[in-house]
Amino acid sequence: MPYVHLRVTREGVTREHKQALIAGITDLLVRVLDKKPSQTFVVIEEVDTDNWGVAGLTVTQLRTLERRGLE
Q: How far is the CB of 70 from a second copy (least distance, A)?
A: 17
| Active-site residue, from 2, 42, 62, 63 | 2
The DSSP string of 8-49 is EESSS--HHHHHHHHHHHHHHHHHHH---GGG-EEEEEEE-T
Measured between alpha carbons, how far is 5 from 28 in angstroms, rounded to an integer?
A: 15
Nearer to a second copy, 50 or 65 (CB): 50
Binding test (CB under 8 A) with a second copy, winner from 10, 19, 64, 67: 19
Binding test (CB under 8 A) with a second copy, winner from 10, 52, 63, 71: 52
Active site residues: 2
